[in-house]
């Protein structure tokens, strides 16, 4: 096999990989397609509201991830304007890069295509061109859910308002929401909420309907398909009841209450619904090729902590907003100041005190900020999403790595963040 691969050109290798992936999908759909599709959908429907099975049921979960509007309400995030073209510059040295994984020491293309890696799609964009692309178990045109990678769209929206002078992230949140005065939020700065260090006693406790986590989602608007709306007219009425359990700015504590509140802040300051702001100020400005979708509660509020779905290439186009090749115009969407804050403005002390998992394997990141989970010494930053989603950005290398996944039934771990970090540090993309 190695001798054969050495004799192939870069384009032939890439074509074979793409053809294998697409042929496999086509073959699966071709065998009793109608009966199998209905059976898979019935299985997925039975588990789509079950927290401990939603993301851990193999093919049924993947069916949900790729067909979210069949199960939940969504709003469209329509594209507009010129498409940012991604040239093909496929590289065999990237495809053959040797990864260190629990599945063994494997070239990237082999690891990504191994069913046990649970990768649905993997994309590497260097200097604005595609260096590697594979779709082991989805089609390039499919729209896959991002889960928590969605959170960086919220922080980007906040950053855009900051760039326009509409908010100061060092101000306390009650500056913008007076109803939070004399509550647990009093004195909590916007930057502390951006950095998941608000200190509020509202940890993510999925499935425990008595928890603050679930109650905050109920107050905000639960993304539960066509079920009855039980949200509050003003979610802050519930948010104001949440107590603090430590001082703000002390530790990185991952909690959806933070992006939920930031979403309300974006709407308050922009005068637009979040989905409209996202569409007009980000998606239609970045050269997206396709419309995206945003999971939406029955009351119309956007489920921003988890709800984006798009093609993989469009996820990468968003990542390019933070790299040199995507910021070449005179007035880039992401300002130099914002980019510098993300790369070097985080607080190592709150990261060290946090409890977030080390996703890069043997190497630890040194800070988090603006909803990006891991920021490295050289200013790379990464956002993780449950079940195998991720967006890794290296401005110094002009590199974006984006991937989608679906946990297999026998797998509850995800090595793709570590693989992305290995690839970034490989020397293949040195400037």
For residue range 172-216, list pLDDT tens digits in order: 999 999 999 999 999 999 999 999 999 999 999 988 989 999 999
pTM, to two decimals: 0.92
Placement of tokens 């200013």 in the chain: 379
Q: How far apart are CA 167 and CA 189, in angstroms?
A: 11
Q: Which residues pair with 119 in a beta bridge?
A: 405
132: helix, coil or strand?
strand
90 contacts 133 by C-beta, under 8 angstroms: yes
Confidence band, pLDDT 50/70/90 cuts, at residue 29: very low
Percentage of the chain modeled with pLDDT above 70 = 90
- Tell whether the model's pLDDT for residue 135 goes beyond 70: yes
What are the CA-CA distances from residue 328 to residues 58, 75, 128, 323, 334 (Å)? 41, 31, 11, 9, 11
Q: Does the pLDDT value for residue 8 go beyond 50?
A: no
Identify the band that residue 120 occupies on the pLDDT scale cut at 50, 70 and 90.
very high
CB atoms within 10 A of CB 30: 9
Closest CA to 186 of 177, 162, 195, 194: 177
Residue 412 has pLDDT above 80, yes or no: no
Tokens of 55: 């993301």
Question: According to DSSP H, which parts of 197-281 are helical?
Answer: 212-220, 236-239, 257-270, 274-278
Q: Is 74:310 a contact under the CB 8 Å cutoff?
A: no
Task: Tell me the average pLDDT across 241-260.
Answer: 97
Going by pLDDT thresholds of 50, 70 and 90, the confidence category of residue 15 is very low
**Coil, helix or strand at residue 32:** coil
Question: In which residue are the tokens 């603050």 written?
Answer: 212
pLDDT of residue 7: 34
Q: Which helix (H) or strand (E) holds 63?
A: helix 59-66
Q: Which two tokens stand for residue 312?
A: 């993989």
Average pLDDT, the chain: 90
**Statement: residue 358 has pLDDT above 90:** no
Please tell me the least confidently modeled range out of 58-72, 237-251, 261-275.
58-72
Task: Specify whether the CB–CB gap between 297 and 235 falls below 8 A.
Answer: no
Tell me: pLDDT of 6 over 80: no
What's the whole-number mean pLDDT along residues 72-98? 97
Tell me how far apart the terminal alpha carbons of the chain are, to the nearest angstrom.
32
Using the CB atoms, write b or e for 194-232: b if 16+ within 10 Å. bbbbbbbebebeeeeeeebbbbbbbbbbbbbeeeeeebe
* Cα distances (Å, whole numbers) of residue 372 to 104, 252, 342, 366: 29, 11, 8, 12
pLDDT tens profile 225-234: 656 788 999 9
C-alpha closest to that of 420 among 164, 102, 35, 399: 399
Q: What is the pLDDT of residue 11?
A: 38
Helix (H) or strand (E) segment spanning residue 62: helix 59-66
């Amino acid at each position: 096999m190695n001798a054969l691969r050495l004799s192939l050109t870069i384009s032939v290798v890439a074509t074979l990989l793409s053809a294998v992936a697409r042929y496999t999908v086509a073959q699966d759909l071709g065998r009793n397609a109608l009966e199998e599709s209905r059976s898979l959908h019935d299985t997925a429907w039975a588990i789509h509201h079950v927290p401990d099975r939603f993301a851990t049921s193999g093919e049924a979960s993947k069916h949900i991830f790729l067909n979210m509007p069949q199960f939940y309400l969504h709003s469209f995030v329509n594209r507009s304007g010129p498409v940012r073209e991604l040239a093909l510059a496929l590289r065999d040295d990237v495809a053959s890069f040797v990864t260190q994984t629990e599945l063994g020491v494997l070239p990237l293309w082999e690891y990504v295509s191994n069913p046990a890696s649970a990768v649905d799609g993997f994309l590497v964009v260097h200097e604005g061109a595609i260096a590697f692309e594979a779709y082991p178990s989805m089609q390039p045109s499919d729209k896959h859910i991002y889960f928590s990678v969605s959170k960086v769209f919220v922080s980007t929206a906040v950053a855009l308002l900051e760039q326009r002078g509409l908010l100061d992230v060092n101000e306390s949140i009650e500056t913008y929401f007076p109803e939070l005065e004399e509550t647990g939020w009093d004195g909590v700065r916007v930057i502390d909420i951006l950095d998941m260090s608000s200190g509020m006693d509202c940890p993510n406790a999925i499935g425990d309907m008595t928890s603050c986590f679930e109650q905050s989602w109920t107050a905000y608007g639960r993304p539960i398909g066509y079920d009855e709306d039980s949200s509050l007219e003003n979610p802050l009425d519930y948010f104001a009841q949440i107590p603090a359990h430590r001082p703000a700015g002390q530790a990185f504590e991952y909690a959806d209450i933070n992006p939920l509140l930031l979403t309300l802040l974006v709407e308050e300051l922009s005068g637009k619904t979040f989905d409209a702001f996202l569409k007009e100020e980000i998606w239609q400005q970045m050269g997206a090729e396709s419309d995206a979708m945003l999971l939406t509660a029955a009351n119309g509020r956007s489920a921003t902590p988890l709800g984006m779905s798009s093609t993989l290439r469009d996820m990468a186009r968003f990542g390019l907003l933070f790299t040199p090749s995507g910021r070449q115009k005179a007035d880039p969407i992401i300002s130099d100041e914002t980019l510098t804050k993300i790369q070097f403005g985080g607080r190592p002390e709150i990261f060290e005190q946090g409890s977030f998992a080390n996703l890069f394997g043997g190497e630890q990141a040194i800070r988090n900020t603006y909803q990006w989970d891991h920021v490295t010494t050289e200013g790379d930053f990464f956002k993780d999403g449950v079940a195998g989603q991720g967006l890794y950005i290296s401005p110094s290398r002009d590199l974006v790595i984006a991937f989608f996944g679906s946990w297999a039934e026998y797998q509850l771990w995800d090595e793709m963040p570590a693989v992305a970090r290995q690839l970034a540090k490989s020397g293949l993309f040195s400037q």
